[in-house]
Structure 1
Amino acid sequence: MNQQFGVCNLCLIPLRAEPSDRSEMSSQLLFGDHFTILESADKWLRILTAHDEYEGWIDRKQFEEIEHAAFVALHDLNTILGLSITHSVTKTSSNEKLSLIAGSNIPNTLDGFFYLRDTKYRLEGEAVTPAKDKFRTGVPSVALFYLNAPYLWGGKSVFGIDCSGLTQMVFRQFGIKLKRDAYQQAEQGELVGFLQECIAGDLAFFDNEEGRIVHVGIMLDNERIIHASGRVRIDAIDNQGIYATELKRYTHKLRIIKRL
């Protein structure tokens, strides 16, 4: 059987843990996210995402099949949508509009138009090319774009986001690839030995009573962290962990700090 590939052609779709509408949403795919199809079951497809190698199930009505050459082209793509709540895109053949979100992958545009497989789209505004050299100075403002976004398990947008989704989407704006879950992200980068050495963009990881890493946030400096807990918020942090001023108590126990 020949390998099959696909791409998300909708604004945002759920990636589920099991092939059921009742299954938990473990992550989301944004427009332009591409993947390898691993298995087919009734109305569901088990896929492996290209950008973070994450497995899950999607509804087979929520994607478009692509050839291997298009898969490779999307994999090499480095243009995304920047920091606006929504971006308007129109299918030129039907004049149907889509509202896309920050971080969506956009094939190279020409005079405001781009193609996803055979479908031609018109983009209102411009896509951006992520720049890693702007990460340290730019990461605070990008992280603040998501401030007060509600917490949503598996979410990756301002309309709902989880802790590792926040870090992944912020880093995405600079072309830096993070894995999907907090414990996976903790395996990336270099260890920062002391909290006092932290700089903007370092990732702080927190564990539970069993020692499992279950939370992550982005350091704004060596005293403040932005993270998704109830909502995307800024809290104080010290060697013990995150101190939530509103609750007047520590909420997360610090395990390690990493720098990418």
Structure 2
Amino acid sequence: MENVEYEQGDLYCGIRSVKGVLKSLSWDWARIKKLRCRFSWLMLTVICFLTCFSLGCYEDIPALSEKEISAKLKEICVALLEEAGLSERECIFDVELSGITRGKITLTGETSEQRLRDELLVRISEELDLQVTDQIRVLPGPELEDQVWALVCKPVINLGAGPQRKDWEDVVTQARLGDILRVLKAQDDWYLVQMEDKYLGWAYGEDIVVCNKEYLDEFWDSEVALIAVKMAECLDSPGGEMVFEKRLVHGSVLPILSQKGEWVELAIPGGGSAYTKTANMLRFDSRDNVFKKQSDASGVIEVAKMYLGFPYLWGGCTSYGFDCSGFVQFCMKINGYHLRRDADLQFKQGEPVPTIAALQPGDLVFFQKGSDGPSHVGIYIGDYRFIHSTATAGVVINSFKAAHGSEYSNALSVQFCGGRRIIK
């Protein structure tokens, strides 16, 4: 019996233990359910946070790749130059993508036109929907302070493609004594300058006088003389010694200091003066009026024929020699018409004249050898003839008409790609 009672007691204890376990399990299950509910809310919160964060990051990542953005940037820059009527030979607009950080792009580079930079930032925002960190440098920079102008102080100077002088290899154009230049930046003894026709080039420091606007205004505050002959002496006194190695060239403009009989005293940039005969010049009340009056076609043709036989000179635009576009630009400027520097740029001016038969005296005639647009230009003088500066013979007259014998040029007749009417 004792054993039976013992077994029953054990059974009772076992039942109580099972009940306790079940009760414990029931309580733990409730806790588990409660914890599971809390964990579900926690997971939902984490998922929502990660989703929002991902969406925010996605908004910060540009839809285009760096390569695509760079290509689009170049496309916009080209379009802006075209809309402004400028080329890279007339305006610095060198901008590049230097990085992308959290949806912002950084632009670096430089430009000589504030308006192009401003419009570029607007276009980037509108067309690419991107924020821009602007590190584009506008020239001239603050390091030049107010010394952002210059006057040519020699009869003729060469402007190069870079801050080096290699004879005639890198010459892009020329400037005359007294020409006004806008200084954009300096490198050692060289200055990147912009001429009044907007053309860019590097000038050697010894060839120019760098100055501020006040000096410029004071220098030109008088009557001026336009050198109206092909070349003129420039002497230290009436009948004296030459001031420069070269003579003054047609188209030079200088302030008049005094006049004594047949001699006129002219101011030289940087100080000093020089004398030339009054017969060599025309007098104007101000510099602004020198190339203001426009003549008819006969005036342009007369000036052009003055230079028949003169040599061809790459980059030349003075009486010491002309390239084709320099010759045309010079003849037109003397008669009050202001052209751009190069043939392909001049082709964008005036009214189109599509055929040789439609040409009128004074029209510009253009020629194309390759696929890159006009590479040569001349002035039509009538009767199928035109005058131009050629690399082989200098300034000559040629014809589109075979009946004109030696003047006829079959090659140029074939290469004719259109005319432009500047004189109306």
Among 15, 27, 32, the residue aligned to 2:173: 27
2:255 counterpart of 1:102: no
Bigger share in helix: 2
Distance change (3 Å), C-alpha of 1:255 and 1:6: same
- Looking at structure 2, the residues matched to 258 and 17 of structure 1 have their Cα atoms a distance apart, in angstroms, of 28
Determine helix, strand or coil for the equivalent of 2:254: coil
2:351 counterpart of 1:190: yes
- Once the two structures are superposed, residues 214-244 of structure 1 have per-residue CA deviations (whole angstroms, 9 ceiling, x without a partner) of 0100111140010111211100026xx9x99
Among 402, 406, 411, the residue aligned to 1:250: 411
2:346 counterpart of 1:149: no
Among 6, 10, 13, the residue aligned to 2:157: 13
Normalising by structure 2, report the TM-score: 0.54
Partner of 1:115: 267
Partner of 2:333: 172
The alignment of Structure 1 onto Structure 2 pairs a total of residues equal to 253
- Looking at structure 2, the residues matched to 203 and 160 of structure 1 have their Cα atoms a distance apart, in angstroms, of 20
Measure how far apart 1:191 and its partner are: 1.7
Partner of 1:237: 400
Determine helix, strand or coil for the equivalent of 2:296: helix
- Looking at structure 2, the residues matched to 77 and 251 of structure 1 have their Cα atoms a distance apart, in angstroms, of 44
Bigger share in strand: 1
- Once the two structures are superposed, residues 160-198 of structure 1 have per-residue CA deviations (whole angstroms, 9 ceiling, x without a partner) of 210001001111221221111111111111222432232
- Once the two structures are superposed, residues 96-121 of structure 1 have per-residue CA deviations (whole angstroms, 9 ceiling, x without a partner) of 52411111122346422232454333
The amino acid across from 2:281 in the alignment is A
Distance change (3 Å), C-alpha of 1:193 and 1:108: farther
The amino acid across from 2:265 in the alignment is F
Distance change (3 Å), C-alpha of 1:166 and 1:78: farther
The amino acid across from 2:198 in the alignment is E
Among 352, 355, 366, the residue aligned to 1:205: 366
Partner of 1:42: 188
Partner of 1:124: 277
CA contact (8 A) 1:37 1:47 kept: yes
Determine helix, strand or coil for the equivalent of 1:21: coil
Measure how far apart 1:248 and its partner are: 6.2
- Looking at structure 1, the residues matched to 405 and 315 of structure 2 have their Cα atoms a distance apart, in angstroms, of 23
Determine helix, strand or coil for the equivalent of 2:234: strand
The amino acid across from 1:127 in the alignment is M
Root mean square deviation, CA, Å: 2.8
CA contact (8 A) 1:195 1:222 kept: no
Which deviates more from structure 2 when the two are superposed, residues 166-175 or residues 118-127?
118-127
- Once the two structures are superposed, residues 27-79 of structure 1 have per-residue CA deviations (whole angstroms, 9 ceiling, x without a partner) of 111111110111111121111112x10111111111112331454676x9985
Determine helix, strand or coil for the equivalent of 2:183: strand
Asked which structure has the greater CA Rg, the reply is 2
Which deviates more from structure 2 when the two are superposed, residues 4-13 or residues 111-120?
111-120
Which deviates more from structure 2 when the two are superposed, residues 159-168 or residues 247-256?
247-256
CA contact (8 A) 1:16 1:27 kept: yes
CA contact (8 A) 1:78 1:130 kept: no
CA contact (8 A) 2:173 2:316 kept: yes
CA contact (8 A) 2:150 2:181 kept: yes
Determine helix, strand or coil for the equivalent of 1:245: helix
Distance change (3 Å), C-alpha of 1:244 and 1:35: farther
Partner of 1:135: 296
Which deviates more from structure 2 when the two are superposed, residues 213-222 or residues 202-211?
202-211
The amino acid across from 1:7 in the alignment is L
Percent identity between the aligned chains? Answer: 25
Which deviates more from structure 2 when the two are superposed, residues 135-144 or residues 112-121?
112-121
User: What stretches of structure 2 of length at least 5 have no aligned partner?
Assistant: 1-141, 283-289
Normalising by structure 1, report the TM-score: 0.85
Measure how far apart 1:199 and its partner are: 2.3
Distance change (3 Å), C-alpha of 1:34 and 1:136: same
The amino acid across from 1:5 in the alignment is W
User: What stretches of structure 1 of length at least 5 have no aligned partner?
Assistant: none
- Looking at structure 1, the residues matched to 281 and 250 of structure 2 have their Cα atoms a distance apart, in angstroms, of 10
Tell me which of the two structures has the higher relative contact order, counting C-alpha pairs closer than 8 angstroms and 6 or more residues apart.
1
